[in-house]
Amino acid sequence: MLDKKKFYINGEWVSPKKINDFKVTDPSTEEECAVISLGGVEDVNDAVRAATKAFETWAFSTKEERLKYLEALYVVYKKRWADMAKAITLEMGAPIDFSTQLQAGTGASHIKSYIKVLKEYTFEAKLGEHALNNNILHEPKGVCALITPWNWPMNQTCLKVIPAIAAGCTMVLKPSEIAPLSSMILAEMIDEIKLPKGVFNLVNGDGAITGNALTSHPDVNMVSFTGSTRAGALISQNAANDFKRVSLELGGKGANIIFKDADAEAVERGALRCFRNSGQSCNAPTRMLVEKSIYDETVERVKNFANSMKVDIATKEGDHIGPVVSKAQFDKIQALIQVGIDEGAKLVAGGTGKPDGLDKGYFVKPTAFADVNNQMQIARTEIFGPVLSIIPFETEEEAIEIANDTPYGLLNFIQTQDQEKANRVARKLRSGMVDINGAGLAPDAPFGGYKHSGIGREAGKLGLEEYLEVKVVSGWND
C-alpha cells in the first residue's frame, strides 16, 4: 500500500499536525491501495498562511514569469503522463487506455490551452477613447480554495490550478479524499518546476473538516468547487459570511434529443457518451429524448449497444468501462436502478447486480430504461452511473419542454441533420452548453451551466477571468 500521508505546504512535503489516516481503495479489487492523512484545521491554517504570504509578491509577478512556469509544467507533465494515467486508474477505476488518452490527456490539454490564453490576455486596458485617463486593471483575486472531485480528477484540478497560477493567485488545493493520488503527482510536478513557495499548496482531507475549514477561512478570497449540488449550496453558505467569490461546477441531467432525421450513428454515440467513464460525468447525456416515429427502433438499438458494452477491471487494456469509484457510489446506483423498476419504467438492458464474472469490484451493468416519463425519479436524479433513461416525444416544442424540465442546466445534445432546426432548438435549451451532432467542445470553450448546475465558467478566457478582480483607476497617465 502506498504511503501518501504528507501535504505540500510552502514548497515542502510536510507531515500533518495530527495523524488521521484514510485508506484509498482500488475500485476494481475493493482492496486498499494507498493511505493518506486527512487534514485538520491547523493544517489548513498553515497552508492558507503560506498562500497569503506568497500572494504579497506573486500577485505582482509578470505575465512572462507565469508563462515560464506553465511552459515548464507542460514539459514535466508530458514526462509524467504515464504515471498520471496509472494513478487515475488505481484511484477511481478508469480503464488504463481511457485513463491515458482522456483522463490524463485532459490535464495536458488544459495546461497547453492556458499557455495560449495567457499569452493573448491583456491585463490592463483603457476604458475607451472617450476616457483615456481611465484604466481597467484585471488583478488576481487572492488566496483561492480549490476543491476538486474524483470523477475527472486531472481535468477538474487543472481547470482550477492552472488558471489560478496564470492569474497571479495563490491557492490551497483539496482534492477528493477518494481519488487524491493524481493531485499529489501534480504537486510533485509543481515542486519540480520550482514554483515560488506558497503559491501552490495541497492539503488532503474530507469535506466536513478540511473543506469546511478552507471555505470558511477568513483569509481565503475565493472558492472554486466542483462536485454535488448539495455540497455546492453548503459551500456558498460558508463563503457568504465574508463575501468570498465563488465558482461552482455542479451536477447535470443532460437531455439528448434524437430527431427522426438524426445521422446513422447518433443513437450509439449518445449511449456511449452516457456510459463512458462508467456514467460518472456531470455532462453525460443521461436522458435520451426520441421522436416517436423512430422510438421503437431506437430502444432496440440502445438495448443492443448496452448489451454489447464490455465491463472489466481498470488495469486491463482495451475498449471497456471500469468500475464505479466506491461502494457508496455502487450502492446508490443499485438503489436507483431498483427505483426505476419500481416506478414502472421498462428495463431493456442491464439492471441490478454485477456483470457476470465480476464478483469483486464495484462494477455496474450498463443499464437502459425505456418508456420513462420526465417525472420519474430516474429522469430527475443525477444517478452518476451507467444508466440511461429513454423518453418519447412527438414535437420539437415538446422535446424542448422536456429537456428544460429539470433543476439542472449543464450540457444538452441535439441530433438532427437539419441545421436550421438544430440552431433553433439550441437557442431554446436552458443550459450552459449544447452539443450538436457530436461536434464536441474545444478545450478553451467555457464550461459551466445554468440553474443548479453551478455558477461561473471554467476553461479558456472566461475561466481565467474567474480568478481576476476588475479595478478601474481614473487619472491614470502613461
Catalytic residue positions, numbered = 249, 282
CA–CA dist 371, 475 (Å, integer): 66
Measure Cα distances from 444 to 157, 168, 224, 250, 459 in Å.
15, 19, 18, 19, 5
Q: What angle is formed at CA 100 by the lines to CA 99 and CA 101, rounded to 5 degrees?
A: 100
| Residue labelled with grid coordinates 433553433 | 424
CA–CA dist 166, 41 (Å, integer): 28
CA–CA dist 459, 332 (Å, integer): 31
**In this structure, what C-alpha cell is assigned to residue 102?**
482522456
**In this structure, what C-alpha cell is assigned to residue 140?**
488576481
Long-range contacts of the stretch 121-127 (C-beta < 8 A, 24+): 121/63, 121/166, 121/461, 121/464, 123/63, 123/468, 127/472
CA–CA dist 478, 68 (Å, integer): 27
* Three-state secondary structure call for residue 478: coil
Q: What is the DSSP string of 357-425?
A: T--SS-----EEEES--TTSHHHHS---SSEEEEEEESSHHHHHHHHH-SS--SEEEEE-S-HHHHHHH
**DSSP one-letter code for 354:** P
Phi and psi at 83, nearest 5°, equal: -60, -40
**In this structure, what C-alpha cell is assigned to residue 103?**
483522463
CA–CA dist 237, 113 (Å, integer): 32
- Judging by beta carbons within 10 Å of its beta carbon (0-12, 13-18, 19+), is residue 388 exposed, middle or buried? buried
- β-pair partners for 96: none
- Report CA torsion sign: 332, 337, 340, 341: negative
* Three-state secondary structure call for residue 62: coil
CA–CA dist 153, 174 (Å, integer): 11
Report the amino acid identity of residue 136. I
Residue from 99, 90, 111, 113 nearest 27 by CA:
90
- β-pair partners for 434: 412
Report the amino acid identity of residue 172. V
